[in-house]
Amino acid sequence: MPGAVETKPNLPVRAWRFVAREVRGMTPAVIFFFVGFNMVLLTKQLFLDAYLITLADLMLAAVSALIAGKVVLVGDAIPLMRRYENAPLAYSVLYKTIFYVVLVFAARLIEAGIPFISHGGWAAFIEHMLNTFSWQRFIATQLWIITLFAIYVTGAELSRLFGDGELRKIFFTRRSSALALTRRQRFREMVRLHHLADAHTVEEFRDPDSAAHREMIAVIRRIARRSPVTKS
């Protein structure tokens, strides 16, 4: 209605929306790392000829997945994370993987040190670490964390490249055999369009008589013709 004043949601509503948004943002990463960490645990158990994962192992994997999910959420909000947005994809994947691994290492260190705050403080924690530290366990854990983050970041970057939800549709809702050629053709046309944009100015594209304009229209028509028809 004209003249109506929009009321601001009260504090409980805003808090609920914030929590819901945080949970939604963390969920994909938490699920991925929960499965990944349990695969690590299962591999370790198989090497030790122990075929059961205990409840304590599951809880440890769940806590580690929650830490990883929160780190992804916090990392995505840091402007420094977008440093290589315009660089080749490999640079972005490598940079974000290292960034996330460092954040997870710091978060795990803080989480492990919290119980010592009331029992001697950080000095007791440092002494405990020096007495129980194992380079073999540390290196094995870090290698798995690096591998899992590299896979996760690669998938996330490809998802952003293809567009929101497009990668999920390709993997889970579209028939791969029927659309494989179409996807390749569309991707190649998009690459051609990208190169075309790099080689010409906006003024050239605006001129209907220019070769750049005609080529752009031809590429767009080919993309439109090869776009799959989805049923509603």
The pLDDT tens digits of the residues spanning 102-161 come to 888 888 787 777 777 767 677 777 777 777 777 787 788 888 889 999 999 998 888 877
Q: Which of 170, 200, 215 is the last residue of a domain?
A: 170
Mean pLDDT of the 78-96 span? 84
What range does the domain containing 40 cover? 12-170
Query: Is 231 a member of any domain?
Result: no
3 domain-assigned:
no
Question: Do 127 and 48 sit in the same domain of this protein?
Answer: yes
Q: What would the 3-class secondary structure string for 101-152 be?
A: HHHHHHHHHHHHHHHHCCCCHHHHHHHHHHHHCCHHHHHHHHHHHHHHHHHH
Number of domains making up the chain = 2
Q: Indicate if 181 and 166 belong to the same structural domain.
A: no
Instruction: Say which residue the tokens 């929009």 belong to.
Output: 6
Higher pLDDT, 225 or 209: 209
Tokens of 105: 């290492």
Residues in CB range of 10: below 8 A, 6 or more apart: none
Q: pLDDT by residue (tens digit) across 165-212?
A: 667 776 776 555 555 556 667 777 777 887 888 888 888 888 888 888
Residue 31 CA to residue 51 CA, distance in Å, equals: 22
